[in-house]
Structure 1
């Protein structure tokens, strides 16, 4: 029997091993989801909302389990307490807006006609979730999909196998039928085969560009909707009028939290030349102050990267940049083992000819460049294959709005970064993909319009 193994970054041991579903068993799971969906959709909206809220509450009683399992599976320090805050915020908001978001749009209701546009569930939804924020990324689609009346099949990342199980346990305990929400363990070929066979009406994928391309190829010709969020190389820009300390604190947290393994983390920073030296000095101090170590230790502020191979990519980018003339400002930490435990790094003297400023790093490294003003910053921020978020630090909201209008990105932040507001659409452009998550628009993606033109009498 073939299995998938979660290798713990703490010590390289096998933390979890699960058998992979056969093609036949996987098809059966998808068929059971499709068969269960109509009855689920026929339930009162208020009932579906209540069950999702109850599942979230159950997870809330198990946050110690969440934090400890995340440390073992992907290396996030237990001091940060898991992901329940964001998990609950997103689920609650989508539950709150559901009655309005799913209500029909009535064009006419007269003695002659009823004309309206209703929202109907897509049907069966496949969620392919990533390991870096495994609870929050899953709930982004899971909560609104179930609330809207869809059945959901969740395929979680190998690195976070236990998260899918935890979610399924909680939702089933809350009363969501087992066939309506299923957690499955699949390999890539079986996943692609299911998509190609039109086992699902909607596919949500968060992961690599290569993975997104594979999903879209599998779905080609099925006419199933595909929503993708494929990472980023998110920039921060510190204008001349910025609050320097706030900019350093915000952008360096965005660069280093979760060992830099954030889709919307800050990977490159452009600082007005008048503030550049002071910014770099403070940024280096932040990086040098991180405590790299075992994520189960409450003193640790920076855990290992989720897998040795991820850390090696970052090391290679840093080495290549230094060889090309960049300066690395942080000496190697004692806890850096050459494997998953990686020293956080700040680079200057970088250019866009270097991979560290062009390709996704997904690790605790950030390159910082001086700029002469807005025009140069805008050009550099747009010089990227990705477009997920961009952060502008300034005291001038009108300027941030003007700059934001010229950025090819999904979200523009002012004086903050690395945050997902559930009231706003989570989306991207270019190689980041074209998903539409959360907000009122998230419900539009997870449902289809159905028009009624009823002539009376």
Structure 2
């Protein structure tokens, strides 16, 4: 069977690929399992060198990879270029810091024993990745985990098969051994068979909470370690002393980045009543000023939604929210043009049980809530089953940090949009998942933190070595 890659801006086929048969799937997993013993014993300095080389491959082919992303899922070309550069950055980061993060840690214990914690890789790790950041999501997983000594098996989203194969080529060109990183072009209904394979030592998924529950259930039956990053409905809290010009400018960017299709995009704008009218007027004007068009055009701010069916789902959420009492301030209808284009949309005062209030709205749709005071703003921000990111805007940074500490989220920002950074742990709480990616915490998710106890002769004290 063939897999078609379709350009959501035009509906034309970008490329076709043969999917992996059951035999192909098994062969790739077996190759990963056979590669692991040698790869895990490769000195970490060599693994870091190869990761740095992968970063160089990304930079050398940036325009090719950026164009591929834009053609397959529709993000504006400039954002695709930035995504390639961010992938190279995460390679640079772990190429510099991985050995430090995984170094043996002496631990004080008995005076006549040497005790330490060592960090050892687990084996083949399955990564189930989404289409919205088709390079970044994969490299966010691969850079730390391959450098820790694991091998990677990728099951990418079905609408970005070209990106999946291109990423496999990046590691090959960088000099990684065959089997260190491989991609499976398989249907989603085959994932359980991979999860149940005893050669798979761990699984990480970025996707919907429904997909996360299904994967966690199957992996749990196998006692396989999981990390889940499951999206969110991030609040963007505007307090009465917010610096309005910067707040509105960032609010638009935070909602519309990646055509509005980001798990950490600001989705619920919670605004203090004293500045509500000013914020709403300026926000609607700025949203309306964004250029919707061909994602290959440098002047475009918003491209198409990644698939026609995703746009249809988004529109259903908008229609139901409005039917149940929300006020439409801007947009609200698919655009009358070829491609899966949905305009910037603003809804005010949605009912508490409406889709735009309770569900993740994955597209350029913002909901705006008016609240009477800071306490009510915090309550509304936390009134969601999700808990990925949150931000607060205020002229008083102490006040901002106090509010940020009260958000029920894995990430909390003051006077900045929510974003991922290789230097900081990334992940959520509640229905946004568990586990962490990036930084020191991320590279230690899929390793065995093993205690080593070396007993010396009685009375022989040991010297702890840093």
Same-fold status (TM-score > 0.5): yes
Aligned counterparts of 1:48 and 1:239: Cα–Cα separation in 2: 47
| Residue 292 (str. 1) matches residue 292 (str. 2) | yes
* Structure 1 stretch displaced more, 9-18 or 429-438: 9-18
Q: How does 1:71-90 map to 2 (within 5 A)?
A: 71-82=70-81, 83-90=83-90
Aligned counterparts of 2:334 and 2:149: Cα–Cα separation in 1: 52
**CA offset digits 1:120-172 (Å, max 9, x no partner):** 00111111111101111111110011110011111111121111211111111
Number of equivalent positions? 456
Aligned counterparts of 1:369 and 1:84: Cα–Cα separation in 2: 35
Aligned counterparts of 1:125 and 1:75: Cα–Cα separation in 2: 29
Shift in Å, 1:3: 2.9
Give the corresponding residue for 2:349. Answer: 349
Give the corresponding residue for 2:7. Answer: 8
Shift in Å, 1:219: 1.0
**CA offset digits 1:256-299 (Å, max 9, x no partner):** 12110001001110111111111111111111111111212222
Give the corresponding residue for 1:138. Answer: 138
Give the corresponding residue for 1:283. Answer: 283
Give the corresponding residue for 2:27. Answer: 28
Aligned counterparts of 2:197 and 2:168: Cα–Cα separation in 1: 25
* Structure 1 stretch displaced more, 85-94 or 213-222: 85-94
* Structure 1 stretch displaced more, 139-148 or 153-162: 153-162
Aligned counterparts of 2:367 and 2:332: Cα–Cα separation in 1: 17
Aligned counterparts of 1:203 and 1:157: Cα–Cα separation in 2: 15
Shift in Å, 1:199: 2.6
Shift in Å, 1:108: 5.3
Aligned counterparts of 2:289 and 2:409: Cα–Cα separation in 1: 31
Give the corresponding residue for 1:390. Answer: 390
* Structure 1 stretch displaced more, 279-288 or 13-22: 13-22
**CA offset digits 1:31-64 (Å, max 9, x no partner):** 2111111111111111100101101111111111
- Scaled by the length of structure 1, the TM-score of the pair is 0.95
Aligned counterparts of 2:450 and 2:98: Cα–Cα separation in 1: 17
5+ long unaligned stretches in structure 1: none
What RMSD, in angstroms, separates the aligned Cα atoms of the two structures?
1.9
Contact 2:390 / 2:418 at 8 angstroms: preserved in 1?
no
SS across alignment from 1:362 = coil
* Structure 1 stretch displaced more, 191-200 or 388-397: 191-200
Aligned counterparts of 2:445 and 2:339: Cα–Cα separation in 1: 41
* Structure 1 stretch displaced more, 402-411 or 37-46: 402-411
Shift in Å, 1:343: 1.1
* Structure 1 stretch displaced more, 213-222 or 406-415: 213-222
Shift in Å, 1:94: 2.5
Aligned counterparts of 1:166 and 1:142: Cα–Cα separation in 2: 14
5+ long unaligned stretches in structure 2: 458-466
**CA offset digits 1:297-317 (Å, max 9, x no partner):** 222211000011111122122
Shift in Å, 1:338: 8.3
Give the corresponding residue for 1:106. Answer: 106
- Scaled by the length of structure 2, the TM-score of the pair is 0.94
Aligned counterparts of 2:443 and 2:297: Cα–Cα separation in 1: 40
Give the corresponding residue for 1:237. Answer: 237
Give the corresponding residue for 1:191. Answer: 191
Contact 1:114 / 1:454 at 8 angstroms: preserved in 2?
yes
Aligned counterparts of 2:450 and 2:334: Cα–Cα separation in 1: 61
Aligned counterparts of 1:148 and 1:121: Cα–Cα separation in 2: 6
SS across alignment from 1:131 = coil
Q: How does 1:100-179 map to 2 (within 5 A)?
A: 100-107=100-107, 112-179=112-179
Give the corresponding residue for 1:200. Answer: 200
Give the corresponding residue for 1:61. Answer: 60
SS across alignment from 1:451 = strand
Change (3 A) 1:186 1:347: same
Contact 2:115 / 2:451 at 8 angstroms: preserved in 1?
yes
Give the corresponding residue for 2:16. Answer: 17
Aligned counterparts of 1:74 and 1:292: Cα–Cα separation in 2: 15
Aligned counterparts of 1:29 and 1:420: Cα–Cα separation in 2: 31
SS across alignment from 2:191 = helix
**CA offset digits 1:179-201 (Å, max 9, x no partner):** 11112212223221121122311
Give the corresponding residue for 1:315. Answer: 315
Aligned counterparts of 2:23 and 2:291: Cα–Cα separation in 1: 48
